[in-house]
Amino acid sequence: MLDLIYVHIDMTSNAVLSKGITHTDFTRSIVHHPKNLLLLNPSAEEGEYDMHSGLKIIRGEENVNQYFSTVHRQKMNEEIKWIDFSDVAMLKELTPLEISELLYFGHMKTSLHSPFFYKLQNDFVFFEFVDHMTRVYYRYIDEFYRILADKITRVILEKVNDRKTFFKRGVSVEKLDGELLKEMKSILQEGVVFCFDQMDIKGKEYHIPIHVVEDSLWKTKNFAYRNEPVIAILVYNTAKRTWRLMQEDDFGLTDFPRHA
């Protein structure tokens, strides 16, 4: 079972660095599905070669979905790196400088200027590293809150049903509303860990502690995050089928509004 989800949002570039959220989780929950992909790994085996950019492309939604399915089925031994684009014809309009920026982006995982290119009209730039970290740039950051909400819901669904005996039917879990997570925007900009391995079960409630670790990613590898302050607690009530967020302030933990 998943022990943690790490999230750090850079609101300046709409970049999200995370651990525990995979390419599969991403493609399962997004609304703006890519029409075409430009693979930012020059040695990528998939796709067709584009003479103008010198990179591989995946053309059309059907082929994009097939590529995503291949990525999900295979154990990838290389980084996943792609940027979506709306019109194949516009690739021919990229200048040498813009192509060099894309190559730099693919190599360094950070953009020289904006991560969103006018000629590409991209909604995402996606990187998944071999150590299960992802860095994704979102044109619409609400997409990320939806992805994170869906992932947490699935983790809690697994945790809740793990306690059931063989003879009892599994139970469903109310979907976590991304709007509740948006209330955590200031927290998520700090760099936090949703700590499922220290989740506290109090009667009908599952309490997920959220530790602030900033950009100290090494703390996710050796359980050092457990020693960091709990900045908030995400709570799911199985009887009422509600989610709520408790945030620590100077006077203790304060309840945020409840969300179904």
Consecutive 10-residue runs of the chain (260 residues): their mean pLDDT?
A: 91 95 95 97 90 96 95 77 96 96 94 94 94 92 97 94 67 94 92 93 94 81 83 95 82 48
Instruction: Scan for tokens 């006018």, then name that residue.
Output: 118
Structural element, H or E, at residue 125? strand 124-128
**Nearby residues of 206 by Cβ (< 8 Å), 6 or more positions away:** 156, 159, 160, 199, 200, 235, 236, 238
Return the pLDDT at 222.
Answer: 74
Return the pLDDT at 107.
Answer: 93
Q: What angle do CA 33, 100, 58 make, to 5 degrees?
A: 30
* Reported pTM: 0.91
Q: Which amino acid is residue 99, in one-letter code?
A: I
Return the pLDDT at 131.
Answer: 76
DSSP structure class, residue 240: T
Is-contact 250 225, C-beta < 8 A?
no
Closest CA to 31 of 131, 134, 149, 118: 149
**Nearby residues of 161 by Cβ (< 8 Å), 6 or more positions away:** 170, 171
Dihedral angle sign, alpha carbons of residues 40, 10, 148, 158: positive
Return the pLDDT at 34.
Answer: 98
Is-contact 55 102, C-beta < 8 A?
yes
Return the pLDDT at 219.
Answer: 76
User: Phi/psi zone of residue 22: left (φ > 0), alpha (ψ -120 to 50 degrees), beta?
Assistant: beta
Closest CA to 54 of 98, 118, 99: 99
Is-contact 227 258, C-beta < 8 A?
no
Per residue in 230-254, pLDDT (tens digit) is 999 999 999 999 999 998 663 355 5
For residues 232 and 190, what is the distance between their CA atoms, to the nearest angstrom?
A: 12
The tokens describing 7, both together, are 């999230």
Return the pLDDT at 123.
Answer: 98
